[in-house]
Amino acid sequence: MKHNDPATAIQDILNFGEFGGVNPSITDSSTYTFLAADRMEEIFDHEIEGCYLYSRHWNPSNRYLADALAIMEGTESAQVTGSGMAAISNVMMQICSAGDHLIAGKTMYGGTYALLNNYLPRFGVETTLVDITNPDEIKSSIRPNTKMIYCEAMSNPLLEIADIPELSKLCIENNLKLVVDNTFTPLIISPYKLGADIVIHSLTKFINGSSDTVAGAICADKEFIDSLMDVNSGTTMLLGPVMDSMRSASVLKNLHNLHLRMRQHSRNALTIAGGLKKLGIRVRYCGLQEHPQYELMTNMMNDNFGYGGMVLLDLGTKKDAYDFMERLQKRKVGYLAVSLGFYKTLFSAPGSSTSSEVPEDQQDAMGMSEGLVRMSVGLDNDIERSFKIMVEELDAMGKLHTHTT
Ligand SMILES: *Cc1c(COP(=O)(O)O)cnc(C)c1O
Under CATH, which architecture does the 6-255 domain have? 3-Layer(aba) Sandwich (3.40)
- Measured CA angle at 319 (ends 316, 322), to 5 deg: 100
Taking the CA of residue 87 as reference, the ligand 1 atom at the shortest distance is 9
CATH number of 258-401: 3.90.1150.10
Helix (H) or strand (E) holding 152: strand 146-152
DSSP 161: B
Q: Which secondary structure element, helix H or strand E, spans residue 271, and what is its range? A: helix 258-278
Name the residue with the closest Cα to ligand 1, atom 5.
84
Give the model confidence (pLDDT) of 100-153 as tens digits.
999 999 999 999 999 999 999 999 999 999 999 999 999 999 999 999 999 999
Distance 185 CA to ligand 1 centre (A): 12
User: Is pLDDT of 209 > 50?
Assistant: yes
Question: How far apart, in whole angstroms, are the C-alpha atoms of residue 277 and residue 289?
Answer: 11
The finding on whether 217 has its CB within 6 A of some atom of ligand 1 is: no
All structural domains of the chain with their residue ranges: 6-255, 258-401
User: Which of ligand 1's atoms lies nearest the C-alpha of 340?
Assistant: 15
If phi > 0 it is left, if psi is from -120 to 50 it is alpha, else beta; for residue 203 that is: alpha
How far is residue 88's CA from residue 326's CA, in Å, rounded to a whole number? 33
Asked if residue 216 has its Cβ within 6 Å of ligand 1, the reply is yes
Tell me the pLDDT band of 362, cut-offs 50, 70 and 90.
confident
- For residue 39, the Cα-to-chain-centroid distance in whole angstroms is 39
The percent of residues above 90 in pLDDT, for the chain, comes to 87
- For the Cβ of 105 lying below 6 angstroms from any atom of ligand 1, the answer is no
Decide if 6-255 and 258-401 have a common fold. Answer: no
pLDDT tops 90 at residue 217: yes
Asked whether 234 and 228 are in contact (CB, 8 A), the reply is: yes
The pLDDT score that the predictor gives to residue 395 is: 97
Which pLDDT value is given to residue 74?
97
Residue minimizing CA distance to atom 7 of ligand 1 = 84
Ligand 1 atom nearest the C-alpha of 88 is: 10
Q: What is the mean pLDDT of the chain?
A: 94
Question: Residue 331 to residues 287, 323, 336, 372: CA-CA distances in angstroms?
Answer: 27, 12, 12, 20
Distance between Cα 30 and ligand 1 center (Å): 27
Q: Is 214 in the pocket of ligand 1 (CB under 6 A)?
A: yes
Q: How many alpha carbons lie under 13 Å from residue 139 in its C-beta half-sphere?
A: 7
**Rounded CA separation 116/122 (Å):** 10
| Structure confidence at residue 43 (pLDDT) | 81
Distance in Å from the first CA to the final CA of the chain: 46
Spatial neighbors of 299 by CB under 8 A, at least 6 apart, are none
In the predicted model, what is the mean pLDDT of residues 26-35?
A: 94
Confidence of residue 405 (pLDDT cuts 50, 70, 90): very low
Query: Ligand 1 within 6 A of 152 CB?
Result: yes
Task: Check pLDDT > 80 for residue 86.
Answer: yes
Q: From atom 2 of ligand 1, which residue's Cα is the shortest distance away?
A: 202
What does the pLDDT read at residue 402?
A: 59
pLDDT for 312 = 97
